[in-house]
């Protein structure tokens, strides 16, 4: 899940003034070139999203009259299939928006950005952001946004359960869970539906336990080791104790029908403020850092503009990417879409919003997880085994062992 909100009319209206201050010097005298970029609905409102890119293109064109930029906004659904087909047919875009778990899949088709980005821009990225788009010491994209999942707790539920302190560690969660159960509340929400990405459900616990999905060499999985068993045992104990509702372990209801929406859950690390504001009320959202066990860590995505090797206009494409991901443009785009900035010099984007200001601080704890070409395939092997353990069909040890066997076969 990612933080999203519709861009405000004020934000769109102010774009022209902001864009004029962005990087990308004047026309270099290059021959006429056209740059095509594929992007997806990062800003939920399609009209506002198109308005943003239209004005951004106009501002770039004013400084680079010999370069035409065509921005094409595609749906999230089936985006990998469309991009893979286009690349195979030598009909891919010059630039495309990718998130980290897509980058390894397209690595051989990506033009590394190290020599194409301004040195000052590269130095301005947050350290964990740079790491999230780097493969074999090569920067594979120009980050334009980031996010971080916080631990969100419902103040109304805490008050109803007579709790005045919020959890910081796994032990805190286990200790206070009975008090919530006694009042008819779930301590934690957990979505075990196999269609839900493990990035926002199980992996944060795995990382907090000190584990990882893959071994250091990437040739085998590591989630079946002691930290993984500890993480899955923690979850199973919470389900068995009645502190996590068992229903969503198999089937995820729409959030409107969930116990989260019914104000029956104390905390969740799998949702964003935007997901629950309508149901909890903004004043009742307590934003906290991620839980701590062996480590303090959470999941956060990074969206980047990536140049493809098949681009016939790399010089022009690089100018566009530098412009589109400049600090001023990033600040405008991220506040429009509800994401956080991957750039240090933008400073905090949400100082005037008490909820998002706290959530923004948690980018320091965020990781995108493993940059491995088989990441999504491995999730497909692991998710049903986690579900089996939570339903009592297997022990945590056996479930992870069986998942590892299947996943390692995929890795060869």
Could you give the number of structural domains in the chain? Answer: 2
Kindly state whether residue 405 falls inside one of the protein's structural domains: yes
Q: Is the domain of 289 the same as that of 361?
A: no
Dist. CA 156–CA 392, nearest whole Å: 32
Q: Is the domain of 387 the same as that of 360?
A: no
Residue 24: per-residue pLDDT: 38
Query: Phi first, then psi: what are they for 188, rounded to 5°?
Result: -135, 150
Residue 18: per-residue pLDDT: 40
Kindly state whether residue 359 falls inside one of the protein's structural domains: yes
DSSP secondary structure string, 290-318?
Answer: PPBSSSB-EE--EEEEEEBTT-S-HHHHH
Beta bridge partners of 303: 145
Kindly state whether residue 4 falls inside one of the protein's structural domains: no
Q: Is the domain of 173 the same as that of 62?
A: no
CB distance 194 to 387 below 8 Å: yes
Kindly state whether residue 104 falls inside one of the protein's structural domains: yes
Residue 370: per-residue pLDDT: 84
Q: Is the pLDDT score of 28 beyond 60?
A: no
Q: Is the domain of 14 the same as that of 144?
A: yes
Kindly state whether residue 1 falls inside one of the protein's structural domains: no
Q: pTM, whole model, 2 decimals?
A: 0.89
Confidence of residue 81 (pLDDT cuts 50, 70, 90): very high
Q: Report the mean per-residue pLDDT for the chain.
A: 92
User: Per the structure block, which two tokens stand in for 221?
Assistant: 């999985």
Q: Is the pLDDT score of 4 beyond 60?
A: no
CA atoms within 13 A on the CB side of 65: 2
Q: Is the domain of 292 the same as that of 314?
A: no
Kindly state whether residue 2 falls inside one of the protein's structural domains: no
Q: Is the pLDDT score of 12 beyond 80?
A: no
Percent of the chain with pLDDT over 70: 93
- Count the helix, strand and coil residues of the chain and give each as a percent rounded to the nearest 5: 45, 15, 40
Q: Is the domain of 190 the same as that of 339?
A: no
Kindly state whether residue 44 falls inside one of the protein's structural domains: yes
Q: Is the pLDDT score of 19 beyond 70?
A: no
Dist. CA 166–CA 266, nearest whole Å: 10
CATH code of 137's domain: 3.40.190.10
Residue 322: per-residue pLDDT: 97
CB distance 53 to 36 below 8 Å: no
Residue 128: per-residue pLDDT: 95
Q: Is the domain of 169 the same as that of 211?
A: yes
List helix spans (H) across 340-395. 354-361, 375-390
Dist. CA 149–CA 198, nearest whole Å: 13
Residue 252: per-residue pLDDT: 86
Q: Is the domain of 18 the same as that of 103?
A: yes
Residue 31: per-residue pLDDT: 77
Kindly state whether residue 228 falls inside one of the protein's structural domains: yes
Tell me which of 20-29, 38-47, 253-262, 315-324 is least confident. 20-29
Q: Is the pLDDT score of 308 beyond 90?
A: yes
Surface-to-core class of residue 331, CB atoms within 10 Å of its CB (0-12 exposed, 13-18 middle, 19+ buried): middle
**Average pLDDT estimate for 199-207:** 97
Q: Is the pLDDT score of 263 beyond 70?
A: yes
**Tens of pLDDT, residues 332-387:** 999 999 999 999 999 999 999 999 999 999 999 999 988 999 999 999 999 999 99
Q: Is the pLDDT score of 22 beyond 60?
A: no
**Average pLDDT estimate for 163-179:** 98
Dist. CA 258–CA 250, nearest whole Å: 13
Dihedral sign for Cα 336, 342, 344, 350, please: positive
Owning domain of residue 179: 151-299+374-411
Q: Is the domain of 267 the same as that of 133?
A: no
Residue 26: per-residue pLDDT: 37
Q: Is the domain of 273 the same as that of 363?
A: no
Q: Is the pLDDT score of 9 beyond 50?
A: no
Q: Is the domain of 179 the same as that of 280?
A: yes
Q: Is the domain of 122 the same as that of 17?
A: yes
Residue 27: per-residue pLDDT: 36
């Amino acid at each position: 899940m990612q933080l999203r909100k519709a861009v405000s009319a004020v934000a769109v209206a102010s774009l022209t003034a902001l864009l004029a201050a962005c990087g990308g010097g004047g026309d270099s005298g290059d021959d006429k070139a056209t740059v095509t970029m594929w992007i997806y609905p990062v800003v939920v409102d399609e009209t506002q999203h198109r308005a943003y890119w239209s004005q951004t293109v106009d501002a770039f064109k004013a400084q680079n009259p010999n370069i035409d930029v065509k921005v094409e906004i595609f749906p999230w659904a089936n985006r990998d299939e469309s991009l893979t087909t286009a690349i195979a047919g030598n009909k891919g875009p010059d630039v495309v928006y990718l998130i980290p778990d897509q980058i390894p899949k397209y690595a051989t088709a990506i033009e590394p950005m190290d020599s194409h980005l301004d040195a000052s821009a590269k130095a301005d990225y947050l350290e964990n952001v740079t790491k999230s788009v780097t493969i074999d010491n090569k920067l594979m994209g120009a980050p334009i946004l980031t996010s971080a999942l916080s631990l969100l707790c419902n103040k109304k539920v805490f008050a109803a359960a007579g709790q005045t302190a919020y959890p910081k560690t796994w032990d805190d969660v286990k200790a206070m869970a009975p008090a919530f159960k006694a009042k008819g509340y779930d301590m934690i929400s957990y979505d075990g539906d196999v269609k839900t990405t493990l990035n926002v459900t199980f992996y944060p616990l795995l990382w907090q336990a000190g584990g990882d999905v893959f071994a250091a060499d990437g040739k085998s999985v590591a989630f079946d080791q002691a930290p993984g068993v500890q993480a899955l045992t923690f979850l199973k104990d919470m389900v068995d104790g009645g502190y996590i509702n068992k229903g969503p372990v198999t089937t995820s209801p729409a959030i409107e029908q969930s116990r989260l929406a019914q104000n029956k859950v104390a905390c969740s690390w799998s949702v964003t403020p935007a997901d629950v504001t309508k149901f909890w009320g903004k004043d009742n959202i307590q934003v906290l850092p991620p839980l701590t066990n062996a480590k303090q860590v959470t999941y956060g995505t990074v969206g980047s503009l990536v140049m493809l090797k098949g681009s016939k206009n790399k010089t022009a494409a690089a100018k566009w990417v530098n412009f589109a991901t400049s600090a001023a443009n990033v600040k405008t785009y991220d506040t429009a879409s509800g994401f956080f900035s991957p750039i240090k010099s933008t400073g905090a984007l949400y100082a005037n919003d008490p909820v998002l200001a706290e959530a923004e601080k948690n980018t320091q704890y965020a990781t995108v997880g493993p940059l491995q070409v088989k990441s999504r395939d491995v999730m497909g092997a692991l998710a049903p085994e986690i579900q089996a353990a939570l339903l009592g069909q297997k022990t945590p040890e056996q479930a992870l062992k069986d998942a590892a066997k299947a996943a390692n076969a995929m890795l060869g």
